[in-house]
Structure 1
Amino acid sequence: MNIVSTVTGARRLRADAERNRRKILDAAADLFATRGIDITLDDVARHAKVGVGTVYRRFTCKQELVDGVFQQHMDDIADAATAALQRADPWEGLVDFIALTCEQMALNRGMGDVFFSDDEGREQIACARERVTPLVEALIARAQDAGALRPDITVNDLFTISRMVESVIDFARPVAPEAWRRYLGLVLDGMRAEGTARTPLTAPSLTDEQVEQAKAACVRK
């Protein structure tokens, strides 16, 4: 075999390896979005239509795969916080950011799992989270300085509020995927400084039928 053939073969192998890696990441992203991160590498291999060994050669554990899929999502969250700090109205900037994080969880089940679990084995996500936290603190301080946000709200309050809204997202998703916006509006009213305007509720309340359907869906999980 001559040198040209050897180099061509090596390039083909690298290209094949990158295609398989992309297929694995895309398959994992699909499964994480629809089922959350409680899946196995075997599930990913089946969805990607590659051998299990191919997945394990590129990702030694699921945490590495989670890190590879969600690192970009977390970077996008950090970019959104930076953009929110540029809004002329500090309250609107904070609301934009909170709504975006909730929307991400509504669109992708795995985002909630990543938000509310530890970062062990997920170095890229941990780095992105470290970037996000001071930006959220700045959003809070800016809204408080403007007299729009209660002075006793902290970054950990926003974390807990996001977890509350995530529970609403999970409950209402089968019958009213946008219902979380209504309950976020109610929470935002509780966060506003005294004497400020109410937050418009942009989604209707669940009907009796929807509540019963959502309850039935919870039982089937």
Structure 2
Amino acid sequence: MNRETAPAPPADEASARPLRADAERNRQRIIAAAQHVFAQRGLDVTLDDIANHAGVGVGTVYRRFANREELVEAIFDTEIQRITDRAEEALTHQDPWDGLVHFFTTASQDFADDRGLREVLLIGTHGKDRVAAARERLSPAIAAVIERAQRHGALRDDIEVTDFPLIQMMLGTATQLSQAVSPGLWERYLTLILDGLRTSRQVPTPLPHRALGQEEFDQTAGAVRVL
């Protein structure tokens, strides 16, 4: 007995599934490339720059993301939430000062590693609803870390939550200018700042990074002229 065979699916239906898989792979390549480019160069890059780094055509980028702001939203919502989680983790430290130091240090490392994160969080000129909502979640978490250390008497009581982004901007500038000659220099200045924020200490905290030599300082100062 002859059996009827089902008609072959149309060509576009047959190819739909692998095309979706290809599209998702391209999307992940674009996001990975954008993370790298934003971290190294900041947010003032073009989709062409990101496409070049991802090894895809710029049209492929535009099919996944209508503009740079959509990429910023896709990447930094998660990054800011990670910092918020660290602030909340700092509240679980038995010693409130240790919790504050841990949070300041890990956040400073994140900002040192990622210029784009510094710009989107501290300057706030990029990103729309999702990034704005992430920033709004972060602010009360930082305030809780600060207030807890103040109640414990470890942190001077005139520090406000708005001091945190300004401190990070200062460290970020030092990081950016000295990146080529001394990438870890920010740790030296974070230690000096934390010593200044603490209400009392018996001796100064040892600095974790040496000062710049004169030639290194000259190179760092020269970086100011090219910004």
**TM beyond 0.5:** yes
What is the CA RMSD across the aligned residues, in angstroms? 1.9
Q: 1:177 aligns with which of 170, 175, 183?
A: 183
Q: What is the match of residue 137 of structure 2?
A: 131
Shift of 1:198: 3.4
Distance 1:153 1:176, change over 3 A: same
Shift of 1:22: 0.7
SS of the residue 1:166 aligns to:
helix
What residue identity is the alignment partner of 1:83? E
Q: What are the ranges of 5 or more consecutive residues in structure 2 without an aligned counterpart? A: 1-6
Shift of 1:59: 1.1
- Does the CA contact (< 8 Å) of 1:188 and 1:199 recur in 2? no
- 1:60 equivalent to 2:66? Answer yes
CA–CA separation in structure 2 for the residues paired with 1:30 and 1:120: 17
Shift of 1:119: 5.8
Q: Quote the sequence identity (%).
A: 43
- Does the CA contact (< 8 Å) of 1:119 and 1:126 recur in 2? no
Q: 1:33 aligns with which of 39, 46, 49?
A: 39
Q: What is the match of residue 207 of structure 1?
A: 213
Q: 1:191 aligns with which of 168, 181, 197?
A: 197
- Does the CA contact (< 8 Å) of 2:97 and 2:154 recur in 1? yes
- 1:147 equivalent to 2:146? Answer no
Q: What is the match of residue 95 of structure 1?
A: 101
Q: What is the match of residue 23 of structure 2?
A: 17
- 1:78 equivalent to 2:45? Answer no
Shift of 1:194: 4.1
- Does the CA contact (< 8 Å) of 1:119 and 1:125 recur in 2? no
- Does the CA contact (< 8 Å) of 1:150 and 1:191 recur in 2? yes
What residue identity is the alignment partner of 2:213? T
SS of the residue 1:155 aligns to:
coil
What residue identity is the alignment partner of 2:66? T
Shift of 1:152: 0.9
CA–CA separation in structure 2 for the residues paired with 1:6 and 1:121: 36
- Does the CA contact (< 8 Å) of 2:177 and 2:220 recur in 1? yes
CA–CA separation in structure 2 for the residues paired with 1:37 and 1:48: 16
Q: What is the match of residue 4 of structure 2?
A: none
CA–CA separation in structure 2 for the residues paired with 1:202 and 1:155: 26
Q: Kindly provide the CA deviation profile for residues 188-209 of structure 1, in whole angstroms up to 9, marking residues without a partner as x.
A: 1221114565333111111111
Deviation larger for 153-162 or 2-11: 2-11
CA–CA separation in structure 1 for the residues paired with 2:219 and 2:125: 34
CA–CA separation in structure 2 for the residues paired with 1:135 and 1:24: 31
Indicate the structure (1 or 2) with the bigger Cα radius of gyration.
2
What residue identity is the alignment partner of 1:49? G
SS of the residue 2:117 aligns to:
helix
Count residues in correspondence. Answer: 221
Shift of 1:23: 1.0
Q: What are the ranges of 5 or more consecutive residues in structure 1 without an aligned counterpart? A: none
Shift of 1:90: 0.4
SS of the residue 1:142 aligns to:
helix
SS of the residue 1:116 aligns to:
helix
CA–CA separation in structure 1 for the residues paired with 2:133 and 2:125: 9
